[in-house]
Chains A and B, each alone.
Chain A
Amino acid sequence: MLWETILLALREIRRNVMRSSLTILGIVIGVAAVITMVTLGGGATEQVTSDVSSLGSNLLEVRPGQGGRGPGGIRSTGEMFEQEDAEAIAREIPGLAAVAPNATASTQAILGNENWSTSVIGSTNAYLQVRTWSLQSGRRFTDNELRSGKAVCILGDTVRKELFGGQESLNDTIRLGRISFRVIGLLEAKGQSSFGTDQDDFVLIPLRTFHRRIAGNTDVGAISISAQDGVATAGVERDIERLMRERRRIQSGEEDDFHVRDMEELVNTLTGTTRVLTALVGAVAAVSLLVGGIGIMNIMLVSVTERTREIGTRLAIGALERDVLMQFLVESVVLSSFGGVVGIVLGLTLAAIGAHVLSVPFVLNLGIVAVAFLFSGAVGVVFGYFPARKAARLHPIEALRHE
């Protein structure tokens, strides 16, 4: 009986293709908007999260100068740090897993005829931990190498490929500028970051070696810190700010001449933005579904009036009230679910195109697809009920007389 009713509903809908399509447009738009936004938002969130976790978990970075928010917004005008600053942070602030003072310069990496422009980073083994690098072969720096500033280096994967290609590179010697370094370790590749920079394009050497051989000073350009798991980075950030203000003798009322950047904060900002956008689109979709629902109610009321004699005939030959109620309810649910399906298909298509254009991954969220479908069906029930009840309550004699 239900199957008959569904077939009947499909036939009625097919009879007025134009009217039916226009009726479901509101639902199509609402559902498509939600699906597109949630899918793209999910993709963006996933990308940001995976980028940040490849950057290092619970990562904080202390840099000189006043920092603008977000990537690239940093003006390094403040005085550089000293290695002692990093040691003080490691000593006095609780809840830290690793502290890596580091300094960066650009350089030419040379091997025979191969010549590659890259950056050289001076730091300690803590840098590998903070930035979650792992070695594909070789070893880390020894304490001796770190203390006495030996000319040894660990290569990022891009540098290795550019200089050595497929050849064995461990224990070979390369030149950075005019100084020869022995390769003691090779890093696993991480690939591109979400900002399009190659994360593997650098050479890591001991900080001491960097100071003596490359920079000729003892400046520390940045201190990378990772907090222990479960420690709130916001609290750590406050502690670091207090300590550094003390060490740099900044009077109260004066602004910091350094800043602490919290990666978790960055993630939260980004995911927060997508969440706000999703909520906004959700609100638009809710309005669209409401309008779509009213459209369906309107069309169903018209349909009931048009088919009054049919209803009368059905009642006369033995249809129960609930048979007629079901007939019209099923019709409006089929109509609105169809709108939902069209909206889902349209939304996923738009999301796939959007993901391609914005180069974020396409993350299919089956949950939201199911919710969207159920919601569109529910719209049919809610807004179809009143017209269906009106049809079912018709008096057979009056319905039969209707012209």
Chain B
Amino acid sequence: MNAGTGNSGNHHLIELQGVTKVYGGGGASMEALRGIDLKIEEGEFVSVMGPSGSGKSTCMNILGCLDTPTSGAYSFKGIEVGGLSRDQRALLRRYYLGFVFQGFNLLNRTSALENVELPLIYRGLPAAERSKRALRALETVGLRGWETHAPAELSGGQQQRVAIARAMVTEPVLLLADEPTGNLDSARSREIMELLTTLNEERGITIVMVTHDSRMASYAKRTVHFLDGLIHSEEDNGKGP
């Protein structure tokens, strides 16, 4: 990884400049993003809101280095992501990013512990170190004693907590959460949001979260509203850094 020029003090963690994304070609093409400018600093907790089709998921995919902009620039830690190969982007995800999905995306038929260990395997950690760190992560999310349970044996809230443990076990710089509470009731949702807030405040993990629910969005310090492929408005939730 050719870490960008200069130190992080001169750079925003995330900087989107005139990012567009067009799906398909010719007459059937669809503009999902029509020129996004967005800056996110290290340690921020940003929520992203907007109706379906507003481009917020596309934006998350680009932020997560899962997709590349059609035009415009995305720099992450000063690295121009658009110029990276597929494998280079995978390494970026491996070493700096963590993902939490709406559908949890845990591996079935493997234990909670093994799920949390998975990203550490790709980092090439020895087995003993892996299970030590995975156990610690599970403890952080309050699932001590549930290590050997398969996802199917856990409630939705517990599953999402396993997923959060998996995302944070590598101590990522940026955690991307795509509707993490979308499948949970309000009590479980509050627990998850409190967990994310703790991770953000105590560990300094930058979090970008997509949500439909303004109550969840209010946990973040800043909310970005998407509409028709553009950033419609931003609001500060009064918890500024």
Whether chains A and B associate is yes
Q: Are A1 and B124 in contact (CB under 8 A)?
A: yes
Q: Are B109 and A318 in contact (CB under 8 A)?
A: no
CA distance A309 to B106 in the complex (A): 9
Tell yes or no: A69 within 8 A of B by CB.
Answer: no
What are 5 A-B pairs at a CB distance below 8 A? Answer: A310-B107, A313-B101, A317-B93, A319-B122, A322-B87
CA distance A321 to B122 in the complex (A): 12
With A318-B90, A320-B87, A397-B66 given, is the CB distance from A313 to B122 under 8 Å?
no
The chain B residue sitting closest to A403, CB to CB, is: B103
Residue of B61, B86, B107, B119 near A318 (CB, 8 A) is: B119
Which 7 pairs show the lowest CB-CB distances between chains A and B? A318-B94, A313-B105, A317-B119, A318-B93, A318-B122, A396-B66, A320-B90
Kindly provide the distance from the CB of A311 to the nearest chain B CB, expressed in whole angstroms: 11
The chain A residue sitting closest to B127, CB to CB, is: A4
Q: Are B105 and A318 in contact (CB under 8 A)?
A: no
Tell yes or no: A391 within 8 A of B by CB.
Answer: no
Kindly provide the distance from the CB of A327 to the nearest chain B CB, expressed in whole angstroms: 11
Kindly provide the distance from the CB of B182 to the nearest chain A CB, expressed in whole angstroms: 14
Kindly provide the distance from the CB of A225 to the nearest chain B CB, expressed in whole angstroms: 74
Q: Are B67 and A317 in contact (CB under 8 A)?
A: no
Q: Are A397 and B99 in contact (CB under 8 A)?
A: no
Sort chain B's interface into a size bin: 20 to 34
Tell yes or no: A315 within 8 A of B by CB.
Answer: yes
| Residue of B67, B105, B166 ringed by the most chain A CB atoms within 10 A | B105
With A320-B90, A321-B86 given, is the CB distance from A313 to B95 under 8 Å?
no
Q: Are B121 and A4 in contact (CB under 8 A)?
A: yes
The secondary-structure label for the interface of chain A is helix
Q: Are B61 and A319 in contact (CB under 8 A)?
A: no
Tell yes or no: A316 within 8 A of B by CB.
Answer: yes
The chain B residue sitting closest to A324, CB to CB, is: B90
With A4-B121, A397-B61, A397-B67 given, is the CB distance from A317 to B107 under 8 Å?
no
Kindly provide the distance from the CB of B64 to the nearest chain A CB, expressed in whole angstroms: 7
Determine the chain B residues whose CB is within 8 A of the CB of A182 once the complex forms: none
Q: Are B105 and A312 in contact (CB under 8 A)?
A: yes
Tell yes or no: B118 within 8 A of A by CB.
Answer: yes
CA distance A309 to B151 in the complex (A): 15
Given contacts A4-B121, A318-B93, 7 further A-B contacts (CB under 8 A): A309-B105, A312-B105, A313-B101, A316-B99, A317-B94, A317-B99, A318-B91
Determine the chain A residues whose CB is within 8 A of the CB of B94 once the complex forms: 317-319
The chain B residue sitting closest to A313, CB to CB, is: B105
CA distance A321 to B88 in the complex (A): 11
Kindly provide the distance from the CB of B21 to the nearest chain A CB, expressed in whole angstroms: 11
CA distance A397 to B107 in the complex (A): 17
Determine the chain B residues whose CB is within 8 A of the CB of A249 once the complex forms: none
Q: Are B66 and A323 in contact (CB under 8 A)?
A: no
Kindly provide the distance from the CB of A241 to the nearest chain B CB, expressed in whole angstroms: 77
Determine the chain A residues whose CB is within 8 A of the CB of B93 once the complex forms: 316-318
- Interface 1/0 per residue, B113-144 and A, CB below 8 Å: 00000110111100000000000000000000
Tell yes or no: A15 within 8 A of B by CB.
Answer: yes
Kindly provide the distance from the CB of A312 to the nearest chain B CB, expressed in whole angstroms: 7
| Residue of B66, B86, B95 ringed by the most chain A CB atoms within 10 A | B66
Tell yes or no: A314 within 8 A of B by CB.
Answer: yes
Determine the chain A residues whose CB is within 8 A of the CB of B67 once the complex forms: 397
CA distance A396 to B97 in the complex (A): 15
Tell yes or no: A135 within 8 A of B by CB.
Answer: no
With A314-B118, A396-B66, A397-B66 given, is the CB distance from A320 to B105 under 8 Å?
no
Determine the chain A residues whose CB is within 8 A of the CB of B66 once the complex forms: 316, 396-397
CA distance A314 to B67 in the complex (A): 15
Q: Are B109 and A317 in contact (CB under 8 A)?
A: no
Determine the chain A residues whose CB is within 8 A of the CB of B166 once the complex forms: 317
CA distance A315 to B107 in the complex (A): 13
CA distance A317 to B93 in the complex (A): 6
Determine the chain B residues whose CB is within 8 A of the CB of A317 once the complex forms: 93-94, 98-99, 118-119, 122, 166
| Residue of B61, B86, B90, B121 ringed by the most chain A CB atoms within 10 A | B90
The chain B residue sitting closest to A319, CB to CB, is: B122
Tell yes or no: A346 within 8 A of B by CB.
Answer: no
CA distance A1 to B95 in the complex (A): 17
- Interface 1/0 per residue, A286-330 and B, CB below 8 Å: 000000000000000000000001101111111111110000000
Determine the chain B residues whose CB is within 8 A of the CB of A4 once the complex forms: 121
Chain B 130-162 residues near chain A, CB threshold 8 A = none
Determine the chain B residues whose CB is within 8 A of the CB of A397 once the complex forms: 61, 66-67
- Interface 1/0 per residue, B32-68 and A, CB below 8 Å: 0000000000000000000000000000010010110
Determine the chain B residues whose CB is within 8 A of the CB of A266 once the complex forms: none
| Residue of A309, A313, A319, A320 ringed by the most chain B CB atoms within 10 A | A313
The chain B residue sitting closest to A15, CB to CB, is: B109
Determine the chain B residues whose CB is within 8 A of the CB of A319 once the complex forms: 90, 94, 122
Q: Are A323 and B122 in contact (CB under 8 A)?
A: yes
Tell yes or no: A400 within 8 A of B by CB.
Answer: yes
CA distance A321 to B89 in the complex (A): 11
The chain A residue sitting closest to B130, CB to CB, is: A4
Kindly provide the distance from the CB of B130 to the nearest chain A CB, expressed in whole angstroms: 10
The chain A residue sitting closest to B124, CB to CB, is: A1
CA distance A152 to B61 in the complex (A): 105
CA distance A15 to B95 in the complex (A): 31
Kindly provide the distance from the CB of A159 to the nearest chain B CB, expressed in whole angstroms: 74
Kindly provide the distance from the CB of A191 to the nearest chain B CB, expressed in whole angstroms: 60
